[in-house]
Amino acid sequence: MIDAHAHLGKWFNFYYDGGDYLSMVRIMDKIGMKSAWISALIGIGPNYKLGNQMVLEAINAFPDRFRGYAVLSPYFSDEMEEELNLRFSQGFIGIKLHPDTHMYPLDGPRYIYAYKFAGRVRCPILIHTWGERDVRSLMGIARSYPEATFIMGHSGGDIRSMLLAGDMVCTVNNVYLDLTGSAMYNGIIEHYINKVGSEKILFGTDFPFIDPRPAIGWVKSSKIPEEDKANIFCKNAERILSLVKRDA
Amino acid sequence: MREYFDFNVMIGEPTVVQLGKWLDTRMLSEEMRRFNIKKAIAYHSYSRDYDAYFGNNYMIKEITGYSDILSCWVLLPFDISPTNTPDELISQLKENNVKIVRLFPELHNFLLEEEVVGDLLALLEGYNVPVLISPNKVGWRDIYSILRNHPNLRLILVDLNYRNSSYIFPLLKRYKNVYIELSGYITYLGIEGIYKRFGGEHMLFGSDLPYKSPGTTIFYVENAEVPEEVKDLIAYKNGEKLIEEVTL
């Protein structure tokens, strides 16, 4: 099992115990989670560089259990090239953008370097989406950068947007639907399987922002074939990882 | 496989049928068998989305012959209720073997002020009748206010979310009859956090069917870092005790 949408650390406006990488590994061991692809919560908040450094420390401590997303800030777009070169030389595997917390549209020009980089390196780029506008914007960007692999964070989030995402994702080859979200709508997994097939769906939980266990139970108890669950839980993420070019 | 007692189920077609998911009693029974849910407390969608007392009476007919489904009545303040005296209400609850109730102030447009629901809550408090309520919809200040006025009320907080610990902990510290229904409380290490601070007696299993799959919360409970006997409390025993202690 691979969690393709996980985090590290604390969040500013609500409380939970733990959030450090040691507590995460303990839970991962308990539930059989092989690895988590993480970005630091402070990174999508006030300090992306500090966040990326915290992720590096987690990777160095548990190289088999964590993979890193480098978070970028649209307010420091002139630093993106240097930051991405540094982080990918340190073993990061993808890019994380959070247009919502940064209050900057995902199709704005300050993200262009990130999209070009992701296309060149063929790395996954996980983008938080919430609402129909975000879904449509991400689809437009994905068509413009066909070499990049886009993970539509939360698949649009609310139910209407998730349904729209399912309708739109089948029109391109480079966008994955991310199951991460607190609602865990009963029936959406089965709907997506019918609509886009299990090869376009990724397992994610927001761990430790949200506990990963309910989402695992949600997928495990869905009424879909076991091979589809294997694609969602693991195989799709492994395939995405195999595309990343280290020498680009 | 552990037995479960589900405290959060709706049967009947709601106004908005999301992803085709709704349950009649036969469908609910199938879901209960699938997840080893031995008893479920359910309210009717008509009580929420049409008329509380029409739905309550409809519910009684719906569950005839289903001894494992307990009716949860949706109540209104006495001033706007056809059951407009305490004696009448108690007599109807007894007659229909109803041992738990739910309030939807946010949907049915009444305030949780003492002038509006004080007499109703005092009555339920006196008979140990548990009351389900969704604090994220009515507002947490109202929950605190209710409990200041009715400190012995058996209040079950439903439809929680992962941001709620800061509201929940002070209530569990002060009021011995507050219970947390777990289907929405997907806070990281949330079950462990409540157990560590307050013990295992204040958590109840709930599925939020038809909106969520029981598999989400069951996997969370089964994989919680708490003793097995605490999982038994959460899964069944706490709920059973609550219903047994009703003095109607």
One digit per residue, pLDDT tens: chain B, 248 residues? 899 999 999 999 999 998 989 999 999 999 999 999 999 999 999 999 999 999 999 999 999 999 999 999 999 999 998 877 999 999 999 999 999 999 999 999 999 999 999 999 999 999 999 999 999 999 999 999 999 999 999 999 999 999 999 999 999 999 999 999 999 999 999 999 999 999 999 999 999 999 999 999 999 999 999 999 999 999 999 999 999 999 99
* Nearest chain A Cα distance for residue B243, angstroms: 26
A3 vs B contacts (CB less than 8 Å): none
Q: Nearest to residue B207, comparing CAs of B31, B85, B60?
A: B31
Dist. CA B49–CA B13, nearest whole Å: 9
At B138, which helix (H) or strand (E)?
A: helix B135-138
Q: Name residues 66-125 of chain A within 8 A of B (Cβ).
A: none
Mean per-residue pLDDT over chain A, rounded: 97
B214–A19 CB contact, under 8 Å: no
Model confidence band, residue A248 (pLDDT cutoffs 50, 70, 90): low
Percent of chain A with pLDDT over 70: 99
**Helical spans, DSSP H, in A107-235:** 112-121, 132-144, 159-169, 188-196, 212-220, 226-230
Contact B162 A211 (CB under 8 A): yes
How far is the CA of B153 from the CAs of A61, A131, A132, in angstroms?
Answer: 49, 39, 42
Residue B131, strand partner residues: B101, B155
Q: Is A223 on the interface with B (CB under 8 A)?
A: no
Residue A202 pairs in a beta bridge with A178
Class of domain B4-244: alpha beta
Name which of B1, B213, B222 to mutate to probe chain A: the one with the most chain A Cβ atoms within 10 A of its Cβ. B213
Interface mutation target, options A179, A184, A195, chain B, most CBs of B under 10 Å = A184
CB atoms within 10 A of CB B213: 30
User: Closest partner residue to A187 among B19, B189, B217, by Cβ?
Assistant: B19
Given this model, what pLDDT does residue B69 score?
A: 97
Window A:8-37, CB contacts with B under 8 Å: 13-19, 23, 27, 30-31
Residues of B in contact with A214 (CB under 8 A): 186, 216-217, 219-220
Predicted pLDDT at A42: 98
Query: B30 in contact with A at a CB cutoff of 8 Å?
Result: no
Scanning B206-235 for CB atoms below 8 A from A yields 209-220, 223-225
Q: Residue A136: what pLDDT?
A: 98
What six digits make up the tokens of B224? 């919680």
Quick check: A167 contacting B, CB < 8 Å? no
Q: Is A204 near chain B, with CB under 8 Å?
A: no
User: Which domains does chain A possess?
Assistant: 2-243 (3.20.20.140)
pLDDT at res. A182: 87
Alpha-carbon torsion, ordered A201, A99, A205, B234, to 10 deg: -130
B131-133 and A124-128 strand pairing? unpaired
Contacts of A185 in chain B (CB under 8 A): 18-19, 211-212
Q: Scanning every residue of chain B, which has its alpha carbon at the shortest distance from the alpha carbon of A206?
A: B188
The string of DSSP codes covering B76-100 is --GGG-SS-SHHHHHHHHHHTT--E
In this complex, do B215 and A207 lie within 8 Å of one another by their Cβ atoms?
A: no
pLDDT digits (tens, 9 = 90+) for A105-141: 999 999 999 999 999 999 999 999 999 999 999 999 9
